[in-house]
Chain A
């Protein structure tokens, strides 16, 4: 293997790597907050909120991430006249798209806790919030963590979509380096390695976590 592509362009690689990590982290925080809100809407007793939550999840889960990113990249500027750059549009798209999956994971986790538990808590005098805080959520979190960690791995991989809207991520710079150096194979192999440095430990960690949580049941 020829390392000259890496040594000659390591600053560019690192710049892209940094942006990929940044987009993934911002996407994670954003999608977690949005996803939690939508999950609360979905299990809410207030009909319009429930409908909104359901429509949101069904819409964003069934369309491509690229389409969501394009909505921010092209759509926002035509609506309000503010132009989002590739990084911002891409990261917003990632957060909104991923939030629909996270909302489903959180909802499924809460629903999986038997009804008797909340009934028992309520009849022993806990308020609704206390029931959620001390009885339902601690049990639900166990079920939610494995799918959430999977979503984070997907988020890291999906952040490569930024390259399609010139979002200065790892894939974007990798593509540029491949075009400049004509050393396509080696460039892509190094890009792959940068992604694997992030995703393989995450995959391994999520598997260990899943096993650990399962053992405590």
Chain B
């Protein structure tokens, strides 16, 4: 183990660079998968004919595939359909598609947990279906979704490391390059990476606990 060699300024800067890419990809994918996931979840909850069953089928397939396969598919198979993406684009597309399926299930479950009587009450007091969703179901449902949603975001941040397989220059990819200099760097470098992931995820789970106790 060589801590001094592993933590040289040059290597640290290189790892930090990778970590920034990790955060950037995670943030973009979180925003996109949250948006699409909510839309799909609401459509599935509303039982729109044709559309809801089709989405249910797609979500079920996506949820049961390894994310790594979807990442490789975005990078190496999409070009055959005329969609050429670089490592960053492919990672964002794959993460968004996969996590959006996960999030849509959380949204559907959260909305489904609101008692039917509330919707009936909303509708019979003259609100439209959309108004009932907007003012009665969503505010309560969203509150219940906070903890699983944050867990999903934590998963997403961790999952960005899989983009190493398509040579995206994120944290684990850069760590591997540093370790390539000497195996004696492996433990110090991997521990540093663990700390970086841990800090962000720990902050996220603190925020989640805060939100939970505030809204409960």
Contacts and interface: CB of A to CB of B under 8 A. Distances in A.
Interface of A: 58-59, 62-67, 70-71, 74-75, 77-79, 153, 157-161, 163-164, 171, 174-175, 178, 184-185, 188, 191-192, 195-196, 199-200, 203
A195 B69 contact: yes
Contacts of A63: 158, 193-194, 197-198, 201
Interface string B38-79: 000000000000000000000011011111110011001100
Chain B interface category by residue count: 35 or more
A192 B98 CA distance: 14
Interface string B158-174: 11111011000000100
* Interface of chain B: mostly helix, strand, loop or mixed: helix
B186 interface: yes
A74 B186 contact: yes
A171 B198 CA distance: 28
A64 B67 CA distance: 13
A69 B66 CA distance: 16
Contacts of B165: 163-164
A158 B187 contact: no
A161 B68 CA distance: 7
Contacts of B142: none
Interface stretch (B114-122, B176-184, B207-215): B176-184
Contacts of B67: 157
